[in-house]
Amino acid sequence: MKFTLSPELEAFRQDVRRFVADNLSPATRAKVDEGRRLVKADYVDWYRILHAKGWITPGWPVEHGGTDWSPLERYIFEEETALGGAPPVTGGINMIGPVLIAFGTPEQKAAYLPAMRRGDLWWAQGFSEPGSGSDLASLSTKAVLEGDHYVVNGTKIWQTQAAYADMMFALVRTRFEGKPQEGITLLLLDMKSPGLSIQPIRTIDGGQELYQCFFDNVRVPIENRVGADSKGWTYAKYLLGFERHGIAGIGHAKRQMVRIKRIAAAEQDRGTRLIDQPRWGERIALLEIELMALECLSLRLIQESEMMGAGKGPGVEASILKIRGTELRQEMFELLTDLTGPYVIPFDEEVMRSGWGNAAPVGPAHAATIASNYLDSRKISIYGGANEIQRNVLAKSILGL
């Protein structure tokens, strides 16, 4: 045990930090800072910068454009990019990417992987259905093989930014007998396919990033099947076990802590900055301590799994990081809401997208996005396996019942 990390890792951290500071567009960083909505270009521009540096797919094998970083280096990279205000790498890179590498055909790899790395191909995830959330294996979107095509009928829900997507990877039911897990197939659907339509869903934060997708006799060529028919559950589990180094969201949490302190220094009560008042100072301190403890836990679990040679980051302990990481960030948004006081009440959707522009802000400029960000933060303990499901998983591993 040593208080400081190795000089090499410290140098690596500084490299990443400098890279983000030098290359991320200030406009994007400002949006992330202020909690405003990002658009596709904000993501893709950043992905192209990462791609040019060779850092877009650190988790992929080297022959497919990976960086061959250790789990700890990948953790530091994720933390520093989030801390520096970069948009998260999403759009399927860390989800369907590894699955195609492990189970895809040479044609699928050639068709998709390079385009994903360049930022030219965005994926939607087609897992959940209106009747299948936590109980994913109960899904019922049906695919029937007719000649050399699957014909897909049904609906998928909670696709993030489906309007940005070129393709969707979807779990569909190809067999109806046996255990629910055994009849599921993983298909790749072109979002422009005839019969495929999307419908936005307004969420409580005022956002419109989620969609429901409908399939009406959508024809999917058989070469767009990943792996074998009815083996989709295996691939889905592989996919969900990937990229859990950063699951605690330490970089995001640190960035929110910076925001908390900035706002607590800007807001005053009876002439005293909130940050200088014990009742607020101690609430902030308590969250900082929780953040320190979680950061120590993340580092410890990654180092322990690295030492055990697991190579992939934490196993079932990732559920601990998911639970605590999401709860902590939610506590931070609660505090942000409280710090903002009465100006948390006005709500202007246009400001969420574009800021105040030339108009004079209503209340302090930082206030406009807080309520929306707070409401949006309620999702993080639901998606990626609701925290109650994570607790079930952990209980099983502790008790073995």
Partner 1 sequence: MDFILNEEQMLLRDMAARFAADARARQEKTPEEPGRRWSRFAELGLLGLTLGEAHGGLGGGGVETMIVAEEMGRQLLTEPFVPAVAMVSPLIGELGSKDHHEQILPRLAAGEVLVVPAFLEPEARYDLAQVATIARADGDQVRITGRKAVVLNAPQADLLLVSTRSAGATGAMEGISLYLVPCQAPGVSLRAITTLDGRPAAEVNFDAVAVAATSRLGSAGTALPAIERAVDRGIAALAGEAVGAMAALLDLTAEYLRTRKQFGAPIGKFQALQHKLVDMRVALELARSVAAAAAMAVDIPDAELRRRFISAAKVQVTRSGRLIGQAAIQLHGAMGMTEEYGAGRYLKRLVVIGALYGDFAHHLERFAATAEPAGLPN
Q: Give the interface size with partner 1 as a residue count (CB under 8 A).
A: 46
Work out whether 323 is an interface residue with partner 1 (CB under 8 A).
Answer: yes
Residue of 41, 258, 310, 359 interacting with partner 1 (CB under 8 A): 258
**Helix ranges, 309-348 (H):** 318-340
169's enclosing H/E stretch is strand 167-173
Instruction: Identify the CA nearest to 176 among candidates 212, 142, 128, 225.
Output: 142
158 near 128, Cβ under 8 Å? yes
Rounded Cα gap, residues 269 and 262, in angstroms: 15
Site string for partner 1, 338-377 (x = CB under 8 A): ----------------------------------------
Tokens of 216: 């009406």
Residue of 145, 198, 365, 394 interacting with partner 1 (CB under 8 A): 394
For partner 1, the closer CB: 360 or 398: 398
For partner 1, the closer CB: 268 or 392: 392
Work out whether 204 is an interface residue with partner 1 (CB under 8 A).
Answer: no
Work out whether 110 is an interface residue with partner 1 (CB under 8 A).
Answer: no
Nearest distance in Å: CB 303, partner 1: 5
Rounded Cα gap, residues 154 and 140, in angstroms: 7
Q: Candidates 3-11, 172-180, 191-199, 334-342 — which segment interacts with partner 1 by CB under 8 A?
A: 3-11
Work out whether 273 is an interface residue with partner 1 (CB under 8 A).
Answer: no
Residue of 45, 166, 288, 348 interacting with partner 1 (CB under 8 A): 288
Tokens of 369: 């996005």
C-alpha atoms less than 13 angstroms from C-alpha of 144 in its C-beta half-sphere:
5
Q: Which residue has the tokens 């936005």?
A: 200
Nearest distance in Å: CB 84, partner 1: 6
Q: How many residues does the chain have?
A: 401
Work out whether 11 is an interface residue with partner 1 (CB under 8 A).
Answer: no
Q: How many CB atoms lie within 10 A of CB 66?
A: 19
Sort residue 231 into left (φ over 0), alpha (ψ -120 to 50) or beta.
Answer: alpha
Q: Which residues bind partner 1 (CB under 8 A)?
A: 1-6, 17, 20-21, 83-84, 254, 258, 278, 281-282, 284-286, 288-290, 292-294, 296-297, 299-301, 303-304, 307, 317, 320, 323-324, 388, 391-392, 394-395, 398-401
